[in-house]
Amino acid sequence: MRRISPVLQQDGVEPDLIALLKTILAACREIAFRVSQGELAGVLGSTLGENIQGETQKKLDVIANELLKEVILETGVVKAISSEEEDTIVAGNPKGKYLVTFDPLDGSSNTDINSLIGTIFSILPADPAKEADDASLFLQPGTAQVAAGYVLYGPSTMLALTTGHGTRLYTLDNTYGGFLLTEDQAAIPKYTTEFAINMSNQRFWQEPMQHYIADLLLGKTGTRGKNFNMRWIAAMVGDVHRVLCRGGIFAYPTDTKDPQKPDKLRLMYEANPMSFLVEQAGGVSSTGYQRIMEIIPIDIHQRVAVILGSKHEVETCIGYHKA
Ligand code: AFP
């Protein structure tokens, strides 16, 4: 089985980018270890703080954020980072050619129940003409990403990575301490009978999503003519991993539950990197009205509706938004 560096070299990825990715993965290996120690390492439970999103921070959120921040800024090739757990961007080397955005621990409410969580990251080019503390550096569409990935802390620790040459899956081999290639080309099946959505929000959705899900629930007896099954992990990283492995549709649509927060998922830390991975695996990712990776951000902490996964199913869902 192959290691990461030769695979990335074969794809023609720049040496500085390879080194940056390996640094991020070194931090993720450390996070994986802390996660695996659970209660023994005293890392479970919440801190007294809230992040910029107004969400309670878990101890592991803070630990993962600090670990990633420190090692990424030390590389010298990063001009600035933007994290879901930081109020503002953090400046790095003014001459750095890359920007890194990350959600240090997606699904952190799963930590206390020993369920799936992960780290999601995205790498963008840095504009040399801008200062390192200028947040507008990050206001680039997802199509500008040079790499994106996640590390899933599950029964085995897995990495999904794209640099625009398809999406590859790697598994952490604890015997040698590195990630080994275990799936050379993730390929999301075009058709599916599996959906993932938080059904408890049903009454708060807009009409297109109400209609679409109602038709899925009717199964064989409705217009879709086939039965659908549902899965929900409550960590996007886990739900997207399932989609990459065997297909499906994952959606976190706009809702009116909290009028201050019509969308839940963060464009830069969750939606864009996952969209890049999904598209590179042959899937589709949309808000229902627009390709996610074409959104020009106006704020680093911006949120967005997300519908992604198997091509035919996502396109069917988009069709309901046109009606
Ligand atoms: P946390 O990282 O704050 O736990 O949020 C995870 C997440 O943003 C996303 O990964 C899930 O799909 C979604 O929240 C689940 O949220 P609900 O359980 O509120 O629907």
Could you report the per-residue pLDDT of 50-80, keeping only the tens digit for each? 766 667 677 888 999 999 999 999 999 999 9
| Residue in 27, 11, 272 with CA at minimum distance from that of residue 157 | 27
In this prediction, residue 53 carries a pLDDT of: 67
By the 8 A CB rule, do 159 and 170 touch?
A: yes
In this prediction, residue 48 carries a pLDDT of: 61
Alpha carbon distance 199, 195 (integer Å): 11
By the 8 A CB rule, do 78 and 146 touch?
A: no
Ligand 1 pocket, 269 CB below 6 A? no
Q: For atom 16 of ligand 1, which residue has the closest CA?
A: 234
Q: What atom of ligand 1 comes closest to residue 234's alpha carbon?
A: 15
By the 8 A CB rule, do 148 and 292 touch?
A: no
* 282 DSSP assignment: T
Cβ count near 159 (within 10 Å): 25
Half-sphere CA count of 31, side-chain side, radius 13 A? 35
Could you report the per-residue pLDDT of 196-234, keeping only the tens digit for each? 999 999 999 999 999 999 999 999 999 999 999 999 999
Strand partners, 118: 106, 152
Chain region(s) in the chain for CATH 3.30.540.10? 4-183
Residues 6 or more apart whose CB falls under 8 angstroms from that of 22 comprise 4, 5
Ligand 1 pocket, 107 CB below 6 A? yes
CATH no., domain 4-183: 3.30.540.10
Could you report the per-residue pLDDT of 256-281, keeping only the tens digit for each? 999 999 999 999 999 999 999 999 99
Q: For atom 12 of ligand 1, which residue has the closest CA?
A: 236
- For residue 261, which amino acid is it? K
In this prediction, residue 239 carries a pLDDT of: 98
In this prediction, residue 44 carries a pLDDT of: 74
Classify domain 194-322 at the CATH topology level.
D-Maltodextrin-Binding Protein; domain 2 (3.40.190)
Task: Please give the model's pTM, rounded to 2 decimal places.
Answer: 0.96
In this prediction, residue 59 carries a pLDDT of: 85
- Residue ranges in the chain modelled with pLDDT below 70: 48, 51-54, 56
In this prediction, residue 196 carries a pLDDT of: 98
Ligand 1 pocket, 198 CB below 6 A? yes
Tokens 């209609």 appear where?
Answer: 211
Chain region(s) in the chain for CATH 3.40.190.80? 194-322
In this prediction, residue 177 carries a pLDDT of: 85
Quote helix, strand, coil % in the chain, to nearest 5: 40, 25, 35
